[in-house]
Structure 1
Amino acid sequence: MNRFGAAKLSAAVSVLLPAASVIIWPSLLWVHAVFVFWLAGASAVWIAADRKEGAGRLERAVQAVQKSAIHTLNHHRHDWMNELQVLYGYIRMGKPDKAVASVEKIRDKMAIESRISKLGVPSLVTFIQSFRTFSHSLQLDVDIDTGLQFEDLPLDRQAIADAIVDVVNAYRFQVKPGPGEPATLRLRIYCSDNSLQVELHYDGDIKDEDQLLQILKQRLLGTPLQAARLTQFHHVLLEAKLSA
């Protein structure tokens, strides 16, 4: 228990004695007066401690978000520096074909980053962009239709975003660790046949296939996303109808 919690507990406990006095001597007005003033003082202490405790929690939450953002930016900076070093190396070695291919790769990555940022749901955008900073056993590759924005769809965009995060996390926690390259989850989000579709292709080992499929079904309960294909964990297709 922190000091603010201890202060709140002390304030609450301190009321017991004057409260007991009121019960024992109900006819004494000064006892009632002491109880009222004591209760007011204890309440003031409780409120002040609770506010400071809440401010402390908020500050810690803000610091956690800031650290996560810094970590994510560092990863992105490192990735872009690697790409630029490769491009610079091809240019110095006089290999224009490979330099052009490297530029195309950088352009494609920038296009994907742009599409992710335009999804319109901060929690999902942050989750995707920071995924590699907290997941080392699973690599997430994302492909999103050009121009797709959840805010343009007649759906609960936050519920859709939460469902996607839950599904990806279900895979992340079921990855079977091992030597070599990390497992890969390819996530594709697109609109087709009057529905929003989320397609997942998994390449790697899983701890328990049946358990993963059961978890996926549970995570989708009550969400706009429903399973169109959910029989094998290697390839899953989810969809949300855009109209009745």
Structure 2
Amino acid sequence: MIYWMNGYKAGERGERIMKQLGSAQVYVLALVLIGLTGLLVTEPWIIRVAFLLIILVSGYTAWRLQVSRMEEKWRSTLKQQEQEDHLKLIAVVNRLRHDWMNDTQILFGYIQMKKFDNLRPYMEKIKMTMQQESNLSKLGIPSFIAYLLQFRVQSKTLELNVEVEQEVNLGQLPISHGLIERLVRQVVACIQEHTAFEEGESGTLSLEFDVQEDGLLLDFVYQGPYNREQLEQSVLARFSSKGSQYLLENDDWHEEEASVTLRLPFHI
């Protein structure tokens, strides 16, 4: 509540500053008009010079006010973006905490019920998950890592599983800057657009990175209800263009399962 009130008060201060700047600009404009009028109606050169100085000073003042207004607007935008980033980070941390609490409760349940045979397989599962999370955090593209983590938190109907079996730094691959993240975002958005969930239903999308000698494969496998014809047409329209940056390596369509593979050749 205190944080919200501080933000509200800051917003009020910003509005007051904007109003003050607006009023000041009106006064400066009036001075400029007076100066121009004086130049037109006066004869002695001294008076003309005085009016010219008024115009120059007023013009400079107006320019400074406009710059100040733009700077204030920019600072406000940056502050809002920073607050949104903080909220997204908190959501990711809460999701991770929730997952760890679930794992802990399951382990305690096995211990209390003396189901010790179930402990080892579940511990292996936790170990694999930890390794996956570690590899995910080392993909080498910070904005892409943040997108993957945030998607897992924000999406309610589509679960995104990123399969990173071994550590790979995508940022060091000889691929056009931003291409990997852009294609992943586009494929995920395309699948989301053509899912056919009814109430209570959900789907799973797995993404695997396969680094080969001459390029990188992005392997997507979706499992869940979807509009097959529409999704197939959309994928072919968006990703089948023959270009040097990427190729549609494979697309396969079945009932409640679809797979799409994109090849990104290395630029050597």
Shorter-chain TM-score category?
0.7 to 0.9
> CA offset at residue 58 of structure 1?
1.1
Match for residue 124 of structure 1?
A: 144
Gaps of 5+ in 1: none
Identical pairs, percent: 25
For 2:60 and 2:267, locate their aligned partners in 1 and report how far apart those are by CA, in whole Å.
57
Q: Which has the higher contact order (CA 8 A, sep 6+)?
A: 1
Partner amino acid for 2:264? A
Describe the SS at the equivalent of 1:44.
Answer: helix
User: Alignment RMSD, CA only?
Assistant: 2.9
Range with bigger deviation, 157-166 or 11-20: 11-20
Shift of 1:190: 1.2
Distance in 2 separating the partners of 1:26 and 1:84: 82
TM-score (norm 1): 0.85
For residues 78-135 of structure 1, what are the alpha-carbon distances to aligned partners after superposition, in whole Å with 9 as ceiling and x for unaligned? Answer: 0111011101111221112211111111111111111111100011111111212211
Confirm or deny that 1:227 pairs with 2:251.
no
SS in 1 for 2:140: coil
The reply on whether 1:42 has 2:66 as its aligned counterpart is: no
**What residue in structure 1 maps to residue 120 of structure 2?**
100
TM-score, normalising length from structure 2? 0.78
Q: 2:108 aligns with which of 84, 88, 94?
A: 88
Aligned to 1:196: 216
Once the two structures are superposed, the pairs formed by residues 23-172 of structure 1 within 5 Å of their partners are 24-27=37-40, 28-172=48-192
Q: CA deviation at 1:210?
A: 2.7
Taking a change above 3 Å as real, the CA distance of residues 22 and 111 of structure 1, as seen in their structure-2 partners, is: same
AA aligned to 1:239 is: R
CA–CA distance in structure 1, aligned partners of residues 51 and 191 of structure 2 = 64
- Give how far 1:215 is off: 6.1
2:257 corresponds to 1:236: no
Alpha-carbon distance in structure 2 between the residues aligned to 1:32 and 1:231: 75
CA contact (8 A) 2:194 2:230 kept: no
Q: Show the 5 A alignment for 1:178-197.
A: 178-192=198-212, 194-197=214-217
Shift of 1:140: 0.6
C-alpha separation between the residues in 2 aligned to 1:102 and 1:59?
A: 43
Structure 2 CA distance for aligned equivalents of residues 238 and 32 of structure 1: 66
Cα distance in 1, alignment partners of residues 261 and 129 from structure 2: 24
Task: Provide, for residues 57-85 of structure 1, a one-character-per-residue CA deviation record: whole Å limited to 9, x for no partner.
Answer: 11111111111001110011001110111
Give the drift of 1:167.
Answer: 1.9
Change (3 A) 1:211 1:20: farther
Contact 1:197–1:238, Cα closer than 8 Å, also in 2 = yes
Distance 1:9 1:223, change over 3 A: farther
CA distance in 1, matches of 2:94, 2:128: 20
Q: Deviations over 1:134-188 (max 9, x none)?
A: 1101111111240221133111353212221222122234333312331111111
In structure 2, give the amino acid aligned to 1:139: E
